Chain A
Amino acid sequence: MPENADDLDEALERIRGRVEERREAGDYPPGLEQQLDRHYHHILKGFDAEVEAITALRLAVANLRAQSEFDLSRIDTWSGNPIKRLLLRIIGKLTIRQARGVLAQVQQFSDALDEVLASLVPMIESLAGSGTEGGGRDRSDLEKRLHTALDRIGLLEERLDRSLEASDDRSV
Chain B
Amino acid sequence: MRRALYLAGVLLVLGALPVSAQMRYSTGAVSTYVANGCGGPDLPLSVGVAGGFRFWYNLGGFQIVTQWNNGDVWGSDFRDGTDTDPSGGSDLPDVYFYNGHGICQNPPTAGSGDFIFTCGNFGKPDLTTIGSQSRWGNNGGQLKFAFIDASCPMDLASIQGQWFPPFQGLHMAIGHSGDVNHDTLNSSSRGSQFASRTAGLPFPFSIFWPELPVGDAWMVTGLTDVQSGVCAVAIAAGNDRNDAINRRENERVKSGWPNPTPNWFAWKWVCS
User: Do A and B share a complex?
Assistant: no
Tell me the A residues contacting B by CB distance below 8 Å: none
